[in-house]
Every structure is written in structure tokens, then in C-alpha cells.
């Protein structure tokens, strides 16, 4: 293959080259608001949902979380039970002097 005969010193001088034009920065698009999943309601549990969750655990036990509360996912139901309802019950029992397990 023939080599190019242009040497670095044979190139045209920098003064004769056209200056490179910098492109203008594109305006940033505004971030789109994140849409909430349509299948789940607001994150706050209503008293009716909390009661339904309590009744589910009372009848079925701590399993089958998907069926616990209509409109809520299984992980949401389990998390609400473990982090809100069960600790509330344990604290209430401890304050009444009943032995319902260790209060957190």
C-alpha cells in the first residue's frame, strides 16, 4: 500500500486553516414528572385498609400478602404490617401490661 507523502511539516500553516466553530449547547429539556403506578393508590393507608390488613392477618396469618388488601401489592401489605400495625399492637399490649412479646 502506498503511504501518504504528506509530512507534518508539509501541512498548511495554522494561520491558513479555518477555525473550528463550536456548536452551541443544546437547551436542556425539562425533566418529566415521574408518574405513579396506576395500580397502587396513594402511599397513605386509610383506616379501612389498615382494618382489612389486621383482619387478614387475624384469619390467615402472616402469609398470602397479595390477597390481604385489594388495590395494594403483597410487599406493600407486608411492609405496612411489619413496620406500622404490628409494632403498634405490641406497644399497646406492653402499655396494658399484657405479655404480647417484646415491644420495640
Residue 38 inside a domain? The answer is no
Least confident of 7-16, 21-30, 80-89: 7-16
pLDDT tens by residue, 21-41: 777 777 777 777 766 555 555
**Structural domain range at position 88:** 67-97
Residue 79 inside a domain? The answer is yes
For the segment 69-79, the average pLDDT, to the nearest whole number, is 92
Residue 45 inside a domain? The answer is no
Residue 83 inside a domain? The answer is yes
Residue 13 inside a domain? The answer is no
Q: What is the DSSP string of 71-98?
A: TS-HHHHHHHIIIIIHHHHHHHHHHHT-
pLDDT over 70, % of the chain: 65
Residue 54 inside a domain? The answer is no
pLDDT category, 104, cuts 50, 70, 90? very low
For the chain, how many structural domains are there in total? 1
25 or 12, greater pLDDT: 25
pLDDT tens by residue, 38-53: 555 557 899 999 999 9
Q: Which DSSP state fits 35?
A: P
Residue 84 inside a domain? The answer is yes
Alpha helices in 1-104 (DSSP H): 47-60, 74-80, 86-96
Residue 73 inside a domain? The answer is yes
Cell reading at 45? 393507608
Amino acid at each position: 500500500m502506498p503511504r501518504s507523502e504528506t509530512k507534518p511539516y508539509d501541512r498548511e500553516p495554522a494561520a491558513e486553516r479555518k477555525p473550528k466553530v463550536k456548536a452551541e449547547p443544546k437547551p436542556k429539556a425539562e425533566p418529566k414528572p415521574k408518574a405513579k403506578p396506576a395500580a397502587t393508590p396513594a402511599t397513605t393507608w386509610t383506616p379501612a385498609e389498615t382494618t382489612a390488613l389486621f383482619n387478614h392477618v387475624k384469619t390467615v396469618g402472616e402469609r398470602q400478602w397479595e390477597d390481604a388488601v385489594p388495590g395494594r401489592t403483597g410487599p406493600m401489605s407486608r411492609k405496612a404490617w411489619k413496620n406500622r400495625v404490628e409494632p403498634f399492637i405490641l406497644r399497646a399490649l406492653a402499655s396494658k401490661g399484657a405479655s404480647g412479646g417484646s415491644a420495640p
